[in-house]
Amino acid sequence: HEVSKVSVYIPAYNASKYIERAVESVLAQDVADLEVCIANDGSRDGTLALLERLYAGEPRVRWLDNPNGGIGFASNSAIRMSRSLYIGQLDSDDCLKPGAVRRLMTVLDENPSVVCAYGSCERIDAAGNYTQDEYAWPVFSREKMMITSIAHHFRMFRRQTWERTTRFREDIVNGVDYDIFLKMSELGEFRHVEEKLYQRRWHGENTSHVNEHHQTTNTHRVQREALARQGLSRFWDVHVPDPQKPRNVTYQLRPDTRMVVFWPDYSRSNPYQKLLYGKLRQSAEVVAGDISAALRVLETQAAPPEAVTFHLHWLNFLFKPGADEPSARAAVEEFLTKLKKFLHKGGQLVWTIHNTVSHDTPFPELERDLSRQLAALAHRLHFHSGASVPEVAATFDVPVEKVRVSRHGSYIGAYPDFVGRDEARRVLGIGADEDVILFSGQIRPYKGVDDLVTAFRAILADRPKARLVLAGRPDFDALAGQDPAITEAERSRILSVGRFVEDGELQLFFRAADVAAYPYQKILTSGSMLLALSFGVPTVVPNVGMTRDVLDGRDAGRLYDAAGGAPALEAALREVLAAKDEGLLPQMAERARRLAQEMDWPDFGAMVTV
Q: What mean pLDDT value characterizes the chain?
A: 93
- Cα 511 from Cα 469, distance rounded (Å): 12
Q: Per DSSP, what are the bridge partners of residue 41? A: 66
**pLDDT tens across 437-488, in order?**
999 999 998 899 999 999 999 999 999 999 999 999 998 898 988 999 999 9
Give the max Cα distance, the chain.
91
Going by C-beta distance under 8 Å and a sequence separation of 6 or more, which residues neighbour residue 469?
A: 428, 430, 436, 437, 438, 439, 494, 495, 497, 509, 512, 513
Domains of the chain plus CATH, in order, are 6-208 (3.90.550.10), 256-405 (3.40.50), 421-598 (3.40.50.2000)
SS3 of residue 38 by DSSP? strand
DSSP SS3 for 435: strand
Among 380, 252, 247, 224, smallest CA distance to 311 is for 380
pLDDT (mean) for 5-27: 95
State residue 358's pLDDT score.
82
In angstroms, the CA 131 to CA 469 distance is 64
Q: Among 11-20, 35-44, 353-362, 560-569, name the one with the lowest average pLDDT.
A: 353-362
Contacts of 472 (CB under 8 A, 6+ apart): 439, 440, 441, 442, 443, 497, 500, 501
Nearest to 353 by CA among 394, 303, 292, 298: 394
Give, in degrees to the nearest 5, the angle at Cα 445 between 522 and 442: 95
pLDDT of residue 251: 86
| pLDDT, average across residues 29-57 | 94
Instruction: Name the strands in the sheet holding 284-288, side by side, starting at the edge strand that comes first in the sequence.
Output: 284-288, 258-263, 308-312, 348-352, 380-383, 403-405
Q: Which residues pair with 471 in a beta bridge?
A: 440
Q: Which helix H or strand E contains 576, and what residues bound it?
A: helix 565-581
pLDDT 10s digits, 515-536: 999 999 888 999 999 999 999 9
Q: Whole-angstrom Cα distance, residue 182 to residue 145?
A: 7
Residue 214: its pLDDT value, please? 67
- Stretch 258-263: mean pLDDT, rounded? 95
Q: φ and ψ at 117, to 5 degrees?
A: -115, 145
- Could you tell me the pLDDT band of residue 255, with boundaries at 50, 70 and 90? confident
